[in-house]
Chain A
Amino acid sequence: MSATKSTMNGVKKRGGKLYDIQMDFHKNWPVYLMFIPVLLFYILFHYKPMVGVVMAFKDYKPAFGVWGSPWTKNFGFKHFLDFFSGIYFGRVISNTIIISVYQLVFGFPAPILLALMLNELKNQRFKKTMQTVTYFPHFISTVVVCGMLTQFCLSDGLFNWITGLFGAEPVSMLQQPSMFRSIYVLSGIWQSMGWDSIVYLAAIAGIDTQLYEAAALDGANRLRRIWHITLPGIKGTIVILLIMKMGQVMSVGSEKILLLYNDATYSTADVISTYVYRKGLIEMNYSFSTAVNLFNSVINFALVCSANWISEKLTDTALF
């Protein structure tokens, strides 16, 4: 690598940037060849559709196409202004943020804790079994999970039977606006905790075992070893994953909410993505929902950048 770099520097003095690339291509053409499919993939499926955001500033009608549809009023910002002044603006934004914060606070540490605990298991067979058991929910389709949740939450369902053992009155849980977020976040943890712990387990496996031995000799107990060796060892992984999670704060997925919410729980369950789904696909206001999603993406982008900047200042770990 360093050798290549120095040659490149040498070349740079003789020719322009284009010449650089030509030389490099001459040398490494198989690598470029392998890169072409990836490049095409990104152009076709990630960059070309981006042109479609123009829809957010137009009154899109499929028959006229994206370019043929007329621009909206207010210099193209009509849909944005409609969204900001609509009565559901405050609600969908705050619901989205609250659910995301719950997911960050309770959902993010869960797989880390699970990974730490699995790592402490000494019986390999038991450890493997536990891992498999905790991955399993990840493979159940969301539709099935929601069907099960709906049944369990009925007033004569499993959850009410359990709370009934402690003397609680049965309630129809999915009809309680106050319980929706807890049901959503807790079931989300149940679904993804095991799967998400894999990456942490892999990071833990990379820690030098000599460190543990040395610490044990110095008389550090288990908790001390976790605190001073394991956690610092996987700090980088945790920070990177946290930054990536920050980029999703404004985008709580719609599938599970669509399957679980009802008229009674709209007030706490309606989030940006479900609102966009209803507006865009059910009511066919394609442009309006594009505008909402564009607004959403801009905020997400800003969040990732600031999380990245903060992390760079505090821990020297950054995504980009």
Chain B
Amino acid sequence: MDGSVTLSINATYEGDSVPEWVKGHYFWDLIQEKTGVKLEFVGSPSKPQETSEEFSLLLASGDYPDLMQANWITFTGGPQAALDDGYIIALDEYSQYFPSLSKILAENEQWNKDVRTDNGQLYNFPLLGSQETTAGTGWVLRQDYLDKVGLAVPETIDEWTAVLTAFKDQLNLGSPMTFESRWLFLEYATAGLSSAYGVCYPFYLQDGKTVFGPQQPGYKEWVTTLTDWYSKGLLDKDLFSVDKNTVQSKFASGEAGAALQQVRNVQNCIQANADNPEYKVVAAHSTVAQKGDVPQMAHHNNSYNGGCSVSISTQCKNIEAACRFLDYFYSDEGALFCTYGEQGFAWDYVDGVPTFNDLILNNPETPDAQGARYFVGQFQNGPIRVIDSNSHYMPEVREIQAVFQANMKDYAYPTVTNNSDEIDTMKKWADIDTYCRETITAFILGNKPLTEWDSFISTAESMGINDVVAAKEAAYQRYLAR
């Protein structure tokens, strides 16, 4: 386009504060040059606009940017309500303006089903994540600690107990295992450990039916184990007040021997110990009930989950330009640029494979390689098809990420859309979620005896958890019928 088009977008522009080496190569500057579209950034630069708080304020303002970064899946009433209430437009009739995305969707049945409403309408330019590598978080241990206590990487819960006990008794670790407590209640985040009991939080599919984790018999055993571990000092004493940075620093400093970590933070921990030859990290496969079983559950991101996707608002004047601009992200040239940044600056072909140079991989002026990639591209946080989300990791970290994967696609609840009849039912879920979180927390801390488990479940049922599960199941059936 000729540069006369201006589109507004609720994205984070940091072009004025990027490090010196990025100047002139910052993603949001270059994308304007390459597409000839001038972008106007609205919203606060310090926060991702998609956080519910920021987004909720944007909606309440009544003044919408042309391009809206939004996750309509989590919106009350789902994408259908967003279309019906008049926030965004349906895109199908403009498909001639986005040939690249249309081609991708035509070639992949799964995506084509996931990104539409139950009525089959297309409502955004989606972030299409990997369909194979779906786990980004998993359990890691210190290999050198395991060697010191003479134990192998644990596979069952009993082996985990033995390892953590040895860490505590023989190595005198203050917190043998640490993780952020909120991950216990974040979708599937701790599933790698609860896998042995065949449960996870909150909703998943069991024999093709939607179930709620804590209502399953295995969940009580899982909480019993955590309670036991906490009382014996095998878990971090400050489990419920530590944040992500503390978890990372405890695992990096050696205060903790096992942790739940995102891949990015595993790499950070290893790099922080570059001059410590002993420091060695190993990943644990998801736990199994009997030694030799195949690991089943793991952390899981649906390939499409509604996040980081961009819709066109009803206030957009130039729909054709908006479509053509967003379609650039999916074109061959655009995908390469978004994923790797500018050729010759951040990467080049080595044996026909795009390979990053030291500006990305070993740059002392950025927090880490992933942070550097975010300056030059939008490889997994924009409206693109993810083609490479991990080539900036060290080979050993990529191996660790491979171990995180299990058979979760059989259990993961897909990205469905709720309809407006279900709004009142789904609103109950927020209160039930709060109730479950604080009650399970009280069990683990020993503030509430486990004998009260049944009354906990019946309270959750009186609050309407069964209605929520039924609504989830109905949405799942509609999804299957798409």
- Enumerate chain A interface residues (CB-CB to B < 8 A): 61-65, 86-88, 150, 153-156, 170, 172, 174-175, 177, 262-264, 266-267, 278-286
Known: A283-B427, A284-B76. Contact between A177 and B447, CB under 8 A? yes
**Interface residue? B136 (CB, 8 A):** no
The binding surface of chain B is classed by DSSP as helix
Would A87 and B431 count as touching, CB distance under 8 A? yes
**Interface residue? B238 (CB, 8 A):** yes
Would A65 and B182 count as touching, CB distance under 8 A? no
Known: A87-B435, A284-B59, A284-B75. Contact between A262 and B241, CB under 8 A? yes
The residues of B that contact A177 with a CB separation of less than 8 Å are: 447
The residues of A that contact B86 with a CB separation of less than 8 Å are: 63
**List of 10 A-B pairs having minimum Cβ-Cβ separation, nearest first:** A155-B237, A263-B441, A63-B85, A264-B240, A174-B241, A172-B238, A266-B438, A62-B59, A263-B437, A175-B240
Known: A86-B431, A172-B238, A262-B241. Contact between A281 and B438, CB under 8 A? no
Given A264-B241, A282-B56: 19 more A-B contacts, CB < 8 Å: A62-B62, A62-B87, A64-B85, A87-B431, A154-B241, A170-B237, A172-B239, A175-B239, A263-B240, A263-B438, A264-B181, A264-B441, A264-B447, A266-B437, A266-B438, A267-B442, A278-B430, A284-B59, A286-B60
Would B240 and A172 count as touching, CB distance under 8 A? yes
Known: A63-B86, A155-B238, A264-B240. Contact between A281 and B57, CB under 8 A? yes
The residues of B that contact A175 with a CB separation of less than 8 Å are: 238-241, 445
- In angstroms, Cα B161 to Cα A98, docked, is 42
Would B60 and A62 count as touching, CB distance under 8 A? yes
The chain B residue sitting closest to A154, CB to CB, is: B238
Would A284 and B241 count as touching, CB distance under 8 A? no
The residues of A that contact B430 with a CB separation of less than 8 Å are: 278-279, 283
Would B181 and A156 count as touching, CB distance under 8 A? no
**Interface residue? B104 (CB, 8 A):** no
Known: A63-B85, A87-B463, A263-B441. Contact between A150 and B241, CB under 8 A? yes
Could you write out 11 A-B pairs with CB less than 8 Å apart?
A: A62-B59, A63-B62, A63-B85, A87-B463, A153-B241, A154-B241, A262-B241, A264-B181, A280-B56, A281-B56, A284-B59
Number of A-B contacts (CB under 8 A): 87
Smallest beta-carbon distance B87→chain A, Å:
6
Known: A87-B463, A281-B52. Contact between A156 and B438, CB under 8 A? no
Report which residue of A150, A278, A283 has the largest number of chain B beta carbons within 10 angstroms of its beta carbon: A283
Smallest beta-carbon distance A290→chain B, Å:
11
The residues of B that contact A266 with a CB separation of less than 8 Å are: 434, 437-438
CB 8 Å contact bits of B423-452 with A (1 = contact, 0 = none): 000010011001101100110010100000
The chain B residue sitting closest to A264, CB to CB, is: B240
The chain A residue sitting closest to B59, CB to CB, is: A62
The residues of A that contact B87 with a CB separation of less than 8 Å are: 62-63
Known: A175-B238, A286-B60. Contact between A263 and B181, CB under 8 A? yes
Would B174 and A156 count as touching, CB distance under 8 A? yes
The residues of B that contact A262 with a CB separation of less than 8 Å are: 181, 240-241
Residues 73-89 (chain B) with a chain A CB within 8 angstroms: 75-76, 85-87
- In angstroms, Cα B241 to Cα A282, docked, is 21
Smallest beta-carbon distance B251→chain A, Å:
16
- In angstroms, Cα B130 to Cα A24, docked, is 76
- Enumerate chain B interface residues (CB-CB to A < 8 A): 52-53, 56-57, 59-62, 75-76, 85-87, 174, 181-182, 185, 237-242, 427, 430-431, 434-435, 437-438, 441-442, 445, 447, 463
Would A282 and B438 count as touching, CB distance under 8 A? no
Would A281 and B62 count as touching, CB distance under 8 A? no
Smallest beta-carbon distance B261→chain A, Å:
20
The residues of B that contact A156 with a CB separation of less than 8 Å are: 174
Would A267 and B438 count as touching, CB distance under 8 A? yes
The chain B residue sitting closest to A59, CB to CB, is: B423
The residues of A that contact B62 with a CB separation of less than 8 Å are: 62-63, 65
The residues of B that contact A283 with a CB separation of less than 8 Å are: 52, 76, 427, 430
The chain B residue sitting closest to A288, CB to CB, is: B427
Smallest beta-carbon distance A234→chain B, Å:
41
Smallest beta-carbon distance A202→chain B, Å:
39
The residues of B that contact A150 with a CB separation of less than 8 Å are: 241
The residues of B that contact A62 with a CB separation of less than 8 Å are: 59-62, 87
Would B85 and A88 count as touching, CB distance under 8 A? no
Smallest beta-carbon distance A48→chain B, Å:
15
The chain A residue sitting closest to B314, CB to CB, is: A63
Smallest beta-carbon distance A110→chain B, Å:
27
Smallest beta-carbon distance A115→chain B, Å:
35
The residues of A that contact B437 with a CB separation of less than 8 Å are: 263, 266
- In angstroms, Cα B242 to Cα A47, docked, is 43
The chain A residue sitting closest to B62, CB to CB, is: A62
The chain A residue sitting closest to B76, CB to CB, is: A284
The residues of B that contact A87 with a CB separation of less than 8 Å are: 431, 435, 463
- In angstroms, Cα B87 to Cα A63, docked, is 7
The residues of A that contact B181 with a CB separation of less than 8 Å are: 262-264
- In angstroms, Cα B86 to Cα A234, docked, is 59
- In angstroms, Cα B237 to Cα A104, docked, is 33
B56 interface neighbour in A88, A263, A284, Cβ under 8 Å = A284
- In angstroms, Cα B60 to Cα A170, docked, is 46
- In angstroms, Cα B437 to Cα A174, docked, is 16
- In angstroms, Cα B55 to Cα A281, docked, is 9
Would B447 and A282 count as touching, CB distance under 8 A? no
Known: A264-B438, A264-B442. Contact between A284 and B52, CB under 8 A? yes
The residues of A that contact B435 with a CB separation of less than 8 Å are: 87
Smallest beta-carbon distance B52→chain A, Å:
5
- In angstroms, Cα B86 to Cα A61, docked, is 10
Would A88 and B438 count as touching, CB distance under 8 A? no
- In angstroms, Cα B86 to Cα A279, docked, is 23
The residues of B that contact A280 with a CB separation of less than 8 Å are: 56
- In angstroms, Cα B62 to Cα A63, docked, is 7
The chain A residue sitting closest to B429, CB to CB, is: A283
- In angstroms, Cα B447 to Cα A154, docked, is 18
The residues of A that contact B60 with a CB separation of less than 8 Å are: 62, 286
Would B238 and A282 count as touching, CB distance under 8 A? no
- In angstroms, Cα B86 to Cα A282, docked, is 21
Smallest beta-carbon distance A124→chain B, Å:
44
Would B240 and A88 count as touching, CB distance under 8 A? no
- In angstroms, Cα B372 to Cα A267, docked, is 42
The chain B residue sitting closest to A280, CB to CB, is: B56
Would A61 and B85 count as touching, CB distance under 8 A? yes
Smallest beta-carbon distance A186→chain B, Å:
17
The residues of B that contact A267 with a CB separation of less than 8 Å are: 438, 442
Report which residue of A63, A64, A170 has the largest number of chain B beta carbons within 10 angstroms of its beta carbon: A63
The chain B residue sitting closest to A178, CB to CB, is: B447
- In angstroms, Cα B434 to Cα A315, docked, is 47
Known: A153-B241, A263-B181. Contact between A281 and B53, CB under 8 A? yes
- In angstroms, Cα B84 to Cα A63, docked, is 10
The chain B residue sitting closest to A63, CB to CB, is: B85
The residues of A that contact B85 with a CB separation of less than 8 Å are: 61, 63-64
The chain A residue sitting closest to B462, CB to CB, is: A87
The chain B residue sitting closest to A260, CB to CB, is: B241
The residues of B that contact A153 with a CB separation of less than 8 Å are: 241
